[in-house]
């Protein structure tokens, strides 16, 4: 894949909830809008794998969540529950109406909290590959980050180096150089450690989310990697067992389903959107 692919996602900045948020907009016309959230430690360019193809189905708006990618952050938003509230405010401020919401990885909790706060807002949601179960079931570096008494062990370590190591988990997809550099730059210096506050809030927020799952009306497509070494598929199974209207697909990938399983991820997302158009009852 050449670096020219990235040019299909021209980024801009706009205020939301008082913060400068980086975003890309396909500017397509039509009835459907899809809001895509960045995974961690990546950025909105994680969606370059499917951007041009999904843009044939709907208008796409991709954002870097506050404190992630290259969006301005605020410490009190680095909790899934608070991030869910931010999403609702951004959607209102930007006039996005009732968008389909795609948020894997760290977006999973935020998407589901948003869906639980405004039961009729989203025609569909696509989540997965993010810590969701209670008790929490995560592994590897993610487990260490969450359970460490503090992050003093990262003092003096450039976030670029941490992210470079994390990206080794991408198994098949070849990152364009420009995308890789965007990921590294987005978490350089202390930025990675600052953003880690979000996953460290999982033990407090996920029990609250677990109690709300049964109330969520939004049809939820759950996508997980069958050999995810950070977020085992048990998290996806936990959600599927508790969400009233959900579909679970486990891909033959590791953690980075949206990149290593891009074709399958695209098809699952597009099919879910087409099955639940904005104007349909319950959609």
Kindly give the confidence (pLDDT) of every residue in the chain, 283 residues in length, as a single tens digit, with 9 standing for 90 and above.
334 445 589 999 999 999 999 999 999 877 899 999 999 999 999 999 999 999 999 999 999 999 999 999 999 999 999 999 999 999 999 999 999 999 999 999 999 999 999 999 999 999 999 999 999 999 999 999 999 999 998 888 999 999 999 999 999 999 999 999 999 999 999 999 999 999 999 999 999 999 999 999 999 999 999 999 999 999 999 999 999 999 999 999 999 999 999 999 999 999 999 999 887 655 6
Closest to 118 in 3D by CA, of 144, 87, 78: 87
Specify the pLDDT at position 3: 40
By the 8 A CB rule, do 224 and 246 touch? no
Phi/psi of residue 204, nearest 5 degrees = -85, -40
Secondary structure element (H or E) that encloses residue 24, with its range: strand 19-25
Report the residue count for the chain: 283
Specify the pLDDT at position 280: 66
List the structure tokens of 53.
Answer: 């193809």
By the 8 A CB rule, do 136 and 146 touch? yes
Which own/partner contact pairs does 189-193 have at CB distance under 8 Å and 24+ positions apart?
189/158, 189/159, 190/159, 191/159, 192/41, 192/154, 192/159, 192/162, 192/163, 193/151, 193/154, 193/159
Residues 6+ apart with CB under 8 A from 4: none
Specify the pLDDT at position 59: 96
List the structure tokens of 251.
Answer: 């891909």
Specify the pLDDT at position 266: 98
Closest to 107 in 3D by CA, of 193, 38, 25: 38
Specify the pLDDT at position 281: 56
By the 8 A CB rule, do 194 and 167 touch? no
């Amino acid at each position: 894949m050449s670096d020219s692919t990235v040019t299909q996602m021209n980024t801009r900045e706009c205020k939301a909830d008082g913060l400068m948020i980086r975003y890309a907009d396909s500017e397509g016309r039509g009835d459907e809008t899809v809001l895509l959230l960045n995974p961690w430690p990546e950025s909105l360019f994680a969606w370059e794998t499917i951007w041009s193809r999904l843009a044939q189905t709907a208008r796409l708006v991709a954002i870097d969540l506050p404190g992630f990618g290259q969006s301005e952050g605020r410490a009190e938003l680095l909790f899934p529950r608070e991030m869910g509230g931010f999403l609702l405010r951004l959607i209102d401020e930007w006039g996005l109406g009732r968008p389909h919401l795609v948020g894997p990885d760290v977006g999973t909790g935020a998407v589901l909290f948003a869906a639980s706060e405004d039961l009729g807002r989203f025609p569909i949601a696509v989540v997965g590959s993010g810590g969701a179960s209670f008790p929490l079931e995560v592994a590897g570096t993610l487990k260490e980050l969450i359970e460490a008494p503090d992050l003093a062990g990262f003092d003096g370590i450039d976030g670029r180096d941490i992210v470079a190591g994390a990206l080794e988990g991408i198994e098949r997809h070849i990152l364009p150089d420009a995308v890789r550099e965007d990921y590294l730059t987005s978490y350089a210096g202390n930025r990675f450690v600052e953003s880690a506050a979000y996953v460290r809030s999982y033990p407090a927020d996920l029990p609250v989310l677990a109690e709300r799952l049964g109330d969520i009306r939004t049809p939820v497509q759950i996508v997980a990697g069958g050999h995810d070494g950070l977020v085992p598929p048990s998290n996806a199974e936990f959600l599927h067992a508790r969400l009233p209207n959900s579909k679970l697909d486990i891909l033959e990938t590791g953690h980075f389903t949206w990149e290593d399983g891009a074709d399958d991820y695209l098809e699952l997302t597009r099919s879910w959107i087409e099955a639940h158009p904005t104007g349909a009852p319950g959609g």
